[in-house]
Amino acid sequence: MILSQLLKDIEYDLLQGNIDVEITDLVYDSRKITENSVFVCLVGANVDGHSFVNQAVEKNAAAVIVEKTIENVPANIAVIRVKNTRRALAFMSAAYFGYPANELTTIGLTGTKGKTTTTFMVKSVLEAAGNKTGLIGTTGILIGDEALPAKNTTPESYEIHRLFRKMVDNGCKYVVMEVSSQGLKYDRVAGINFDIGVFTNFSPDHIGPNEHTDMDDYAASKGILFRNCKKAVVNVDDESIDKILSGHTCEVVTYAINNNADLKAENIQFIKENGRLGMKFNTIGATDYEFTVYTPGMFSVYNSLVTIFICKLLGVSEENIADGLLKVKVRGRVELVPCSPDFSVIIDYAHNEVSTKSVMNTLAEYKPNRMICVYGGGGNRSKLRRYDMGEVTGAMADLCILTCDNPRDEEIKDINNDIKIGLARSNGKYIEIDDRKEAIKYAIENAQKGDFIVLLGKGHETYQEIKGVKYHFDEREAVAEIKKELGL
């Protein structure tokens, strides 16, 4: 590719060199610089790519893209200055991979909660209707049935367009992806005009020195999506909806349970059968139909409404939508694991107060005999999170079994001592079993009819991080092994 073609969608100043040269690669990681590549100097919270320009010189890069003043670059290397290198990378990546977003129907979801589950629901429904679909999100990347790991909920722009190209080349017609507030704020999806943008809900999260300065910044970042999509599907039950849509440039359609909307759920039922939990409801408005989904809780109705509306807009029949929803299973998000018809085992990624309370309230709607929580806490993380987890589980569970999560560089005992401070606030009952599989086994061995055993914190993860080493550990495998050992 000629360098000038890579630059055609951005504003820039050529400080030196020639842009009519052949380039071999586009990179933003200094370790991947090769001869005749273009190096984009990204400015991060901890690392500034401008510090690595000397490596681009040493490795004979064709050009460097900068937003700051740099010196002592040989005349044969083009120096191109832009206002924002992250934004430039997004547009350059689209050009580099041949604008694959234009060959896909793109669906982007933003919101504090519900993104992961809903992306899986949409993928399930679209594929039930015969449409090969790609997925990008917190739990990984799916290209049809091929699974790839993900470092961030919303990858860097170069990775997004690389994945889009791979999806197109593998026959995908659709892509559904989580669009995080960080992904929007830092221009990872800049230049993508989503066919459908979705807002799920908004609540306090991601406020900190390396994330968002305050709730207004958090909301403003999410709102960027609705100035970069053709049509929005939004939850008008959320009180932040006006703030999120401020300055939007897209057509808006709405869904709700409580307020008037273009698509609304009614006659909502909580269903519990043969160890499975789910929801049944009717829709009115954009479509009138009865749906059942085997993911529990009222938030599953909201996630289903999003899915129904998106797929209806894309021309999928009600029958295919209903069939796809029945097949949905989201790894690590209120995930029911086969164990016994007498009691239920649920895996969930909840690892803070808000998400734990949400899961516990959801499961309480099904009126379990007892609620048994098996969990620990992440090492090298806030002690306040541990206190709060202990307090909420102590108040809502009949028994807590404290165990190992990802202790990292801390001792399990020290982490669990912090959790016990929170448990004491709510007079929570607990025991301690450091080995996570043994803790799960204890819960299953002592389960009574109608009990819910809730495994918190690991979710989709398949490892435990201890003293710098990641050991394989999958709770689904652990439950299957325990089931076999106990003859269940």
Q: pLDDT (tens digit, 9 = 90+) per residue, 92-101? A: 999 999 999 9
Least confident range from 172-186, 212-226, 276-290, 465-479: namely: 212-226
- What's the token pair of residue 283? 């829709």
Q: Is the pLDDT of residue 45 over 80?
A: no
Nearest CA to 134 out of 103, 158, 111, 95 is that of 103
Other Cβ atoms less than 10 A from the Cβ of 269: the count is 11
Is the Cα torsion angle 131, 162, 114, 419 positive or negative in sign?
positive
Tell me the backbone φ, ψ of residue 196, rounded to 5 degrees: -135, 130
High-pLDDT (> 70) share of the chain, %: 97
Residue 49 to residue 47: CA distance in whole angstroms? 6
Average pLDDT, the chain: 93
> What Å distances lie between residue 5 and 9, 21, 22, 191, 348, CA to CA?
8, 10, 10, 16, 46
Mean pLDDT across 209-236: 81
Residue 364 to residue 374: CA distance in whole angstroms? 16
Which range of 112-126, 145-159, 431-445 scores highest in mean pLDDT? It is 431-445
* Angle between helix 318-326 and helix 115-128 axes, rounded to 10 deg: 120
139 vs 442, which has greater pLDDT? 442
High-pLDDT (> 90) share of the chain, %: 81
What confidence score (pLDDT) does residue 218 get? 73
Least confident range from 68-72, 251-255, 313-317: namely: 68-72
DSSP letter string, 173-239: -EEEEE--HHHHHTTTTTT--EEEEEE----S--BSTTSBSSHHHHHHHHHGGGGSEEEEEEETTST
Residue 72 to residue 124: CA distance in whole angstroms? 54
Residues forming a β-bridge with 362 = none
Nearest CA to 252 out of 238, 234, 240 is that of 234
Could you report the per-residue pLDDT of 404-418, keeping only the tens digit for each?
999 999 999 999 999
Give the count of alpha carbons within 13 A of 208, CB side only: 7
376 vs 274, which has greater pLDDT? 376
Give me the domains of the chain, ranges plus CATH numbers. 3-96 (3.40.1390.10), 100-326 (3.40.1190.10), 335-486 (3.90.190.20)
185 vs 166, which has greater pLDDT? 166
Nearest CA to 455 out of 318, 370, 350 is that of 350
> What is the pLDDT confidence band of residue 301, given thresholds at 50, 70 and 90?
very high
- What's the token pair of residue 256? 């709700």
What confidence score (pLDDT) does residue 417 get? 97
Q: Is the pLDDT of residue 207 over 60?
A: no
Q: Is the pLDDT of residue 472 over 50?
A: yes
Strand, coil or helix: 299:
helix
Residue 287 to residue 112: CA distance in whole angstroms? 26
Residue 480 to residue 478: CA distance in whole angstroms? 5
Mean pLDDT across 208-216: 55
What confidence score (pLDDT) does residue 203 get? 65
Q: Is the pLDDT of residue 206 over 50?
A: no
> What is the pLDDT confidence band of residue 382, given thresholds at 50, 70 and 90?
confident
Burial of 483 (0-12, 13-18, 19+ CB in 10 A): middle
Number of H helices, E strands in the chain: 15, 24
Length of the chain (residues): 488
Residue 185 to residue 373: CA distance in whole angstroms? 36
Residue 484 to residue 488: CA distance in whole angstroms? 6
What confidence score (pLDDT) does residue 471 get? 95
Q: Is the pLDDT of residue 486 over 60?
A: yes
Residue 22 to residue 57: CA distance in whole angstroms? 17
218 vs 300, which has greater pLDDT? 300
Cα angle 309-315-316, degrees, rounded to a multiple of 5: 75
User: Which residues are CB-contacts of 462 (< 8 A; sequence separation ≥ 6)?
Assistant: 472, 473, 474
Q: Is the pLDDT of residue 219 over 80?
A: no
Mean pLDDT across 328-345: 89
Q: Is the pLDDT of residue 322 over 50?
A: yes
Q: Is the pLDDT of residue 214 over 60?
A: no
User: Which residues are CB-contacts of 302 (< 8 A; sequence separation ≥ 6)?
Assistant: 114, 200, 201, 235, 237, 255, 257
What confidence score (pLDDT) does residue 217 get? 73
Q: Is the pLDDT of residue 204 over 60?
A: no
